[in-house]
Chain A
Amino acid sequence: MSFVARLKHFFLPQESNNFRAKIIHHQSLSYFSILFLVFQFILSSTFLVKPAVLGFSSQIFPEKILELTNRERAKAGAPPLKLNPLLNEAAQRKAGDMFAFNYWAHTSPSGRDPWSFFKEVGYRYLYAGENLARDFSSPEAVVSAWMASPSHRENILNPKYREIGVSVVDGTLGGLDTTLVVQLFGTPVSSAPLGERSEVVVPKEASKNIPAIGEAGESSRPLVTLAQSSGKEKPLINPFFLTKNLGITILGIITAVVILDGIIIFRQKTFRLSGRSLSHTMFLLGVILIIILSSPGVIL
């Protein structure tokens, strides 16, 4: 079979492929699934053997996070937040702690809650909250994701908060290059009416040991060296985008062949026992749309 004939056999319905493009035969569809699974396995194995090869880089600046947060607050009629250097430092330390002790949570595996960082830098709060995000490529995407989550949104729009600290830090988490965004909210004790009690909020189930008003204290934990996000693209192989691109390529080819196959069969008025090309096209386009609009970021 010549090269052109072979191409036609794979992409167009004709007698040689029983009037159905070979690429959308049951066998080929199974091969595509197996190929995709093998690719995922190789990607995961690479991650285990050479974790430094895989990672994520972003262009997020803390000032932009503050600006977008205040924009959302303005829309909701909440007062704007002021950047507090102590909260910035606490957010920086929290990010460093997550990298140093390799966790992604509001409370560390050893039980250290977010409020201990407030205490560590000497920020005495009446109200406090924390939002976390990782692996987003832009500040707009981070704030949009937080606003889409009811509990994070509540933190952003809470009119009780007066100050904010934001840190964006690059590091390695679980062997993967990652950009963490830590957003800490606070209302200092000095700005509170007498008699009010302290309150803390984290978007998911909060720490069970809610502390009293934070106080400065010395920590016996190791100091963590932090790398502030440079905001520059780095040449990394990103498993998310690799998976996304391969998925779009495979499904794109299949969709194109299904459409072509459907048009030819319709025009030739060929009868065959098979699924509907129109329904396959609709489903596959829906899946491709989801894949295209998916972003790698996670919030907590």
Chain B
Amino acid sequence: MKEEIVHYLVLLLILDLGIASFFLFSFNRYYQGAIVITMGILYVMWGIIHHYFSRDLHPKVILEYVLISFLGTLVILSILARV
């Protein structure tokens, strides 16, 4: 349980840093794009590591993280492209 909490705190930190950096670099949309892609990749990596330690890592689970991450990243990048 304690380990789970640490995992989620790490995820919260990744997301917080990603969101803060996104707005910190609001003057450069290329930096913003790079930040969003990095956030998406880190989310998938978090999923893989979390499920590895929880002993339920499976390709189907990885695919789920990839799809969620891809959709989120795609929407933000599309918005940046419309700026």
Interface positions of A (Cβ within 8 A of B):
26, 29-30, 32-33, 36-37, 40, 135, 145, 148-149, 152, 239-240, 243-244, 247, 250-251, 254, 273-276, 278-280, 282-284, 286-287, 289-291, 293-294, 296-299
Q: A33-B67, A296-B82 are in contact. Are A286 and B76 (CB under 8 A)?
A: no
| Nearest CB of A to B11, in Å | 6
Majority-rule SS of B interface residues: helix
The answer, among A145, A250, A274, for a CB contact under 8 Å with B27, is A145
Known A-B contacts: A244-B79, A247-B75, A290-B36. Give 10 more (CB < 8 A).
A26-B60, A32-B71, A247-B78, A274-B64, A275-B51, A279-B43, A279-B46, A283-B68, A283-B69, A294-B80
Asked if B71 and A33 sit within 8 Å, CB to CB, the answer is yes
Asked if B79 and A275 sit within 8 Å, CB to CB, the answer is no
Taking CB atoms, residues of chain B closer than 8 Å to A283 are 11, 15, 43, 68-69, 72
Q: A240-B79, A273-B56, A293-B23 are in contact. Are A36 and B64 (CB under 8 A)?
A: no
Asked if B72 and A26 sit within 8 Å, CB to CB, the answer is no
Interface positions of B (Cβ within 8 A of A):
8, 11-12, 15, 18-19, 22-24, 26-29, 36, 39, 43, 46-47, 50-51, 56, 58, 60-61, 63-65, 67-76, 78-83
Asked if A26 and B75 sit within 8 Å, CB to CB, the answer is no
Asked if A287 and B75 sit within 8 Å, CB to CB, the answer is yes
Asked if A145 and B68 sit within 8 Å, CB to CB, the answer is no
Asked if B60 and A36 sit within 8 Å, CB to CB, the answer is no
| Nearest CB of B to A220, in Å | 35
- In the complex formed, the residue of B with least CB distance to A29 is B67
| Nearest CB of A to B83, in Å | 6
A-B contact count (CB 8 A): 113
| Nearest CB of A to B66, in Å | 9
Taking CB atoms, residues of chain A closer than 8 Å to B29 are 298
Taking CB atoms, residues of chain A closer than 8 Å to B28 are 149
Asked if B82 and A239 sit within 8 Å, CB to CB, the answer is yes
A13 to B18, CA, bound (A): 31
A133 to B72, CA, bound (A): 28
- In the complex formed, the residue of B with least CB distance to A271 is B56
Asked if B74 and A279 sit within 8 Å, CB to CB, the answer is no
Asked if A279 and B50 sit within 8 Å, CB to CB, the answer is yes
- In the complex formed, the residue of B with least CB distance to A150 is B27
- In the complex formed, the residue of B with least CB distance to A242 is B82
CB-defined A-B contacts under 8 Å, sample of 23: A29-B71, A33-B67, A33-B70, A33-B71, A36-B78, A37-B74, A40-B81, A135-B83, A148-B24, A148-B27, A239-B82, A250-B71, A250-B75, A254-B68, A274-B61, A283-B11, A283-B15, A284-B72, A286-B18, A287-B72, A289-B19, A291-B75, A296-B82
Asked if A279 and B8 sit within 8 Å, CB to CB, the answer is yes
Q: A240-B83, A274-B64 are in contact. Are A40 and B78 (CB under 8 A)?
A: yes
- Residue among A254, A273, A279 facing the most chain B CB atoms (10 A cut-off): A279
Taking CB atoms, residues of chain B closer than 8 Å to A297 are 83
Taking CB atoms, residues of chain B closer than 8 Å to A36 are 71, 74-75, 78
A101 to B68, CA, bound (A): 42
Taking CB atoms, residues of chain B closer than 8 Å to A30 are 67
The answer, among A239, A244, A275, A298, for a CB contact under 8 Å with B68, is A275
A294 to B19, CA, bound (A): 11
- In the complex formed, the residue of B with least CB distance to A176 is B82
Taking CB atoms, residues of chain B closer than 8 Å to A279 are 8, 11, 43, 46-47, 50
